[in-house]
């Protein structure tokens, strides 16, 4: 039986667009976002825009301003980055270690699809696409855990790390790092998979 088509709601579509623009740097740190302007840009009412602003504020991507809408959040101070990295490594490695023996062929297919998208984004030099598919790759790991509260803990940390994403050097390095994680998973090498995962989080 074919899988049913899943359609995103207007707020979900709007959140995807704005999140991509923030993480890729298309929307700059401190840039104001006004309900009316965003609703006109996307051709939607102000209600969904207000809802999405609240979601993005909870994720740490925008900062509310009284009677003004929101502004794009700044990157975390460099002094906080080691803490964010440690927290993210702890959560992701905990999840991967716990789910490792129960990883299915379907799980691997999802990661293979994300890896293919990461490779294409790197070849195209598209930061926006790379951030999106990088996030999808790691989200799939976190969402595989039975305790869904872990995703709630993890999401604001990783989004703060990826905000206004920059990667020095060859973008293809990101593809090879993710490939190393998946290769180790496929061969059943838990230790190497955890090492590769830690090496990717930086």
User: DSSP letters along 74-90, please?
Assistant: PPPPGGGHHHHHHHHHH
In a domain, 169, yes or no: yes
Domain boundary among 72, 88, 120: 72
Give the pLDDT band of residue 66 (cuts 50, 70, 90). confident
Rounded mean pLDDT, 179-185: 98
User: Please, are residues 29 and 171 in contact by the beta-carbon 8 Å criterion?
Assistant: no
The pLDDT score that the predictor gives to residue 10 is: 85
**Do 125 and 65 sit in the same domain of this protein?**
no
Residues 6+ positions from 139 with CB-CB distance below 8 Å? 151
Q: Is the pTM of this model over 0.85?
A: no
pLDDT of residue 11: 86
* 123 and 35 part of one domain: no
- How many other β-carbons are positioned within 10 Å of the β-carbon of residue 67? 4
Domain assignment of residue 161, given as a range: 78-200
Same structural domain, 34 and 105? no
Same domain flag for 117 and 157: yes
Is residue 143 situated within a structural domain?
yes
- Is 3 inside a domain boundary? no
5: in domain: no
Does residue 96 share a domain with residue 191? yes
Torsion, CA 156, CA 157, CA 158, CA 160, rounded to 10: 80
Considering the domain architecture, whether residues 104 and 161 belong to the same structural domain is answered as: yes
Q: What is the pLDDT of residues 111-127, one digit of tens each?
A: 999 999 999 999 998 88
Residues 65 and 97 in one domain: no
Residues 95 and 185 in one domain: yes
Task: Classify residue 137: in a domain, yes or no.
Answer: yes
The helix-helix angle for 127-143 and 105-124 (nearest 10°) equals: 170
User: What's the domain count of the chain?
Assistant: 2
Co-location of 24 and 104 in the same domain: no
Q: Are residues 53 and 86 in the same domain?
A: no
Instruction: Count CB-CB contacts under 10 A for residue 26.
Output: 15
Are 49 and 144 members of one domain?
Answer: no
Query: Both 102 and 48 in a single domain?
Result: no
């Amino acid at each position: 039986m074919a899988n049913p088509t899943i359609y995103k709601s207007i707020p979900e579509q709007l959140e995807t667009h704005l999140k991509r623009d923030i993480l890729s740097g298309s929307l700059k740190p401190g840039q104001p976002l006004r309900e009316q302007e965003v609703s006109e840009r996307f051709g939607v009412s102000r209600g969904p825009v207000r809802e999405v602003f609240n979601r993005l504020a909870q994720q740490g991507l925008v900062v509310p301003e009284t009677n003004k809408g929101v502004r794009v959040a700044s990157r975390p101070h460099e002094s906080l980055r080691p803490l964010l990295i440690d927290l993210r490594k702890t959560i992701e490695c905990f999840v991967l270690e716990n789910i490792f023996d129960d990883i299915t062929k379907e799980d691997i297919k999802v990661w293979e699809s994300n890896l293919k998208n990461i490779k294409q984004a790197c070849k195209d030099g598209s930061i926006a696409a790379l951030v999106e598919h990088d996030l999808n790759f790691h989200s799939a790991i976190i969402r595989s855990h039975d305790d869904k509260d872990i995703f709630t803990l993890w999401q604001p940390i990783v989004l703060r790390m990826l905000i206004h994403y920059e990667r020095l050097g060859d973008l293809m390095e990101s593809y090879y790092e993710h490939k190393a994680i998946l290769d180790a998973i496929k061969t059943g090498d838990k230790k190497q998979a955890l090492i590769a995962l830690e090496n990717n989080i930086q």
